[in-house]
Amino acid sequence: MEPKNLEIEWRHLEKEGKTCERCADTGRELRIALERLVEDLEPQGWRVSLKETLLSDAQLQESNSIYLNGLPIEALLPQTSKSENCCASCGDLLGFPVLCRTLERNGQTFEAIPAAMIVEAARRLIETRTKERGVPMEIKVLGPGCPRCQQTEKVVKEAVAEAGVAASVEKVTDVMKIASYGVFTTPAVVVDGEVKSVGKVPSKDEIKSWIQK
């Protein structure tokens, strides 16, 4: 079986053992994301690794960037693009005014890359790779076990059976794992890493529209 590897590369400036504040913040967020991904993906047979690439002054334009299996994070996230703004911390570090990378998404500027965006990008990458391989769809029902959560699981399994698609259905009750999807109201349904429904019991027709492509 082909190994399933997810390499997350973090490229950032280092000057005399120091980096700028926004890169340091990204580093903290990255390690939070890595912990979540290892916990979630390794039981599924994925090997998750971190590669840290230190950049010189001449490579400053690449600083504070994240690549997943060689793809820039902004290429994996919808409505996301790279931009730049003035970085006072890098200016102090290098001794001259500096423009540093940022991410723009839905009208919001991110100087440090949040853990939630890194996790989302990883899940989107894995979803794409899974589809390319023809691997069975992965459906997760998020919820602590309330009656509506149980009903959602039942409806999802019935919809999968009626649709005749190859899919696994997993019930996720751990609060931290649920929160890692950005979900704070349950029940919720996740299909191949993408949140499809939050806070309600979806109908069979809705579920079939997600899984029949």
Q: What residues are annotated to the active site?
A: 146, 149
The structure tokens listed for 155 are: 């409806």
Exposed/middle/buried for residue 100 (C-beta within 10 Å: 0-12, 13-18, 19+):
buried
Query: Strands, E, within 31-136: which ranges?
Result: 46-55, 65-68, 71-72, 80-86, 99-105, 108-110
The CA–CA distances, whole Å, from 27 to 32, 37, 176 equal: 9, 15, 20
The CA–CA distances, whole Å, from 1 to 7, 45, 200, 205 equal: 18, 11, 38, 35
The structure tokens listed for 184 are: 């704070």
